[in-house]
Amino acid sequence: MEAIFDIPVKGTTHSVLHEVDWKNLPFGRYVSDHMFICQYKNGEWQDPQIKPFQNISVAPTMLALHYGQSVFEGMKAFRMKDGRINIFRIEKHHQRINASLDRMCMPPIPYELFATALQQLVSVDKDWVPEGEDVALYIRPLVFASEAKFGVKVSDEYTLIIMTGPVSTLYQKPIKVKVERHYIRAAKGGVGYAKCAGNYGGAFYATQKAREEGFDNVLWMDAFEHEYIEESGTMNLLFVIDEKLITPPLSDSILDGITRDSLLTIAKDLGIETEERKISISEIVKALDDGCSVEAFGAGTAAVVAPISVIGVDGELYHLPTYTNGSVMNKLKKALEAIRSGRTEDKYGWNCVV
Ligand code: COI
């Protein structure tokens, strides 16, 4: 993709690339040398720059700190088998960040600005893109209300920052999840589909409680009946029951996951039957009790796929079978990786080669 305009690279960088332990890339530990920053004022995005990664100074009255107008994205860039770098599904991430911004009364980001910023930032820090399986350069676009005024109002000013850092997949082993019947993540008519900061902060309490009980994550249920499965932790959720791939349909309480969408598309191409429909926890328990073959896994940008080994339901533990190379989850993951690494045809144009 051609860059539409040149973003100035300002300041002197003291690279910390040599500090990276490439064999151990926990999510969020490393931040690359540069960041993109841009301000929204007087009704337009202005002064885009790439600068050395640095602290920013904000007023204590800044609106995002008080009323939570803050949204983000999670994206990845991959090193392909021929050494080139691609950023995965820029268009879909752009649509999603604008949907989140709209829900939070924040201004949209023009596609040219978003795509150009991503490409130029990743090019400047190309040496930070790791090579190998299960690793990538994570990209975190963040927009927050930066007007300094604590009156309760929609901000007139915003800051967009994009930062990056090399990561491995979020979970290194199968996870144990607990069906959450009391606390909820999102309700009908709420902001669950938006990638706004409060959805994550609001989930910490229940997650922490589940961790105290020995689980890794919460399995979020619908807010009304507490029976229909919505998401798990920070991921979408997919099940395979007797070879059929089933996932809850998108709604205003479920994030439109880009890994979810990619896996569903790949599954259809592989001839796997897919269903986007409501799925209750009782249906999963029954399938396990009846001896059906069941897979359960989370899907998200940071996690890619996260196999679930145990589901805790009202005090009972249900163990799922081990995920072999032949599992549907692993077939889908491998097919996704083959596209991103350039080993198979990218027939949907998902890879934006930088
Ligand atoms: C992602 O999967 O990229 C996310 O944004 C979820 C999380 C790690 C915060």
Distance between Cα 299 and ligand 1 center (Å): 10
Listed in sequence order, the residues at least 6 apart from 123 whose beta carbon sits closer than 8 Å to its beta carbon are 85, 354
Distance between Cα 140 and ligand 1 center (Å): 9
Instruction: Please name the residue that has the structure tokens 């709604």.
Output: 251
User: Residues 328, 240: one domain?
Assistant: yes
Distance between Cα 257 and ligand 1 center (Å): 10
Distance between Cα 75 and ligand 1 center (Å): 8
Cβ atoms of residues 59 and 71 within 8 Å: no
168, 202, 226 — which closes off a domain? Answer: 168
pLDDT for position 211: 98
Cβ atoms of residues 157 and 45 within 8 Å: no
> Is 255 near ligand 1, meaning CB less than 6 Å away?
no
Q: What is the ipTM of this complex?
A: 0.96
pLDDT for position 342: 96
Q: Which of 168, 234, 262 to mutate to test the pocket of ligand 1 (most atoms within 8 A of CB)?
A: 234
> Is 312 near ligand 1, meaning CB less than 6 Å away?
no
User: Residues 126, 230: one domain?
Assistant: no
User: Residues 267, 294: one domain?
Assistant: yes
Distance between Cα 139 and ligand 1 center (Å): 10
User: Distance from first CA to last CA of the chain, Å, rounded?
Assistant: 7
In a domain, 304, yes or no: yes
* Integer Cα distance of 320 and 309 in angstroms: 5
140, 168, 196 — which closes off a domain? Answer: 168
Q: How many domains does the chain contain in total?
A: 2
Distance between Cα 12 and ligand 1 center (Å): 30
Cβ atoms of residues 139 and 162 within 8 Å: yes
User: Residues 70, 134: one domain?
Assistant: yes
The tens-digit pLDDT sequence of the chain (354 residues) is 445 689 999 988 899 999 999 999 999 999 999 999 999 999 999 999 999 999 999 999 999 999 999 999 999 999 999 999 999 999 999 999 999 999 999 999 999 999 999 999 999 999 999 999 999 999 999 999 999 999 999 999 999 999 999 999 999 899 999 999 999 999 999 999 999 999 999 999 999 999 999 999 999 999 999 999 999 989 999 999 999 999 999 999 999 999 999 999 999 999 999 999 999 999 999 999 999 999 999 999 999 999 999 999 999 999 998 888 889 999 999 999 999 999 999 999 999 999
* Integer Cα distance of 146 and 261 in angstroms: 32
What is the pairing mode between strands 274-276 and 135-145?
A: unpaired
> Is 232 near ligand 1, meaning CB less than 6 Å away?
no
Cβ atoms of residues 231 and 290 within 8 Å: no
Q: Which two tokens stand for residue 158?
A: 């915003």
pLDDT for position 321: 85
Q: Which two tokens stand for residue 345?
A: 């045809």
Atom nearest to 73 CA in ligand 1: 5
DSSP state of 164: E
Q: Please report, for the domain that includes residue 112, its CATH number.
A: 3.30.470.10
Distance between Cα 200 and ligand 1 center (Å): 9
> Is 234 near ligand 1, meaning CB less than 6 Å away?
yes
> Is 120 near ligand 1, meaning CB less than 6 Å away?
no
168, 196, 224 — which closes off a domain? Answer: 168
In a domain, 112, yes or no: yes
User: Residues 241, 283: one domain?
Assistant: yes
Cβ atoms of residues 156 and 96 within 8 Å: no
In order of 92, 273, 303, 325, 347, the CA distances from 344 in angstroms are 20, 22, 22, 19, 9
**How much is the pTM?**
0.96
In a domain, 12, yes or no: no
Give the domain range for residue 113.
Answer: 17-168
User: Residues 213, 297: one domain?
Assistant: yes
pLDDT for position 1: 46
In order of 124, 154, 165, 295, the CA distances from 336 in angstroms are 26, 40, 21, 18
Count of Cβ atoms closer than 10 Å to residue 273 Cβ: 12
> Is 165 near ligand 1, meaning CB less than 6 Å away?
no
Atom nearest to 300 CA in ligand 1: 2
Listed in sequence order, the residues at least 6 apart from 313 whose beta carbon sits closer than 8 Å to its beta carbon are 179, 281, 285
Q: What's phi and psi for 163, nearest 5 deg?
A: -125, 160
* Integer Cα distance of 72 and 67 in angstroms: 16
Atom nearest to 259 CA in ligand 1: 2
Residue 235 has, within 13 A of its CA and on its CB side, a CA count of 29
User: Residues 280, 327: one domain?
Assistant: yes
User: Residues 157, 238: one domain?
Assistant: no
CA 268 and chain centroid, separation: 22
User: Residues 180, 304: one domain?
Assistant: yes
User: Residues 198, 312: one domain?
Assistant: yes
> Is 300 near ligand 1, meaning CB less than 6 Å away?
yes
In a domain, 248, yes or no: yes
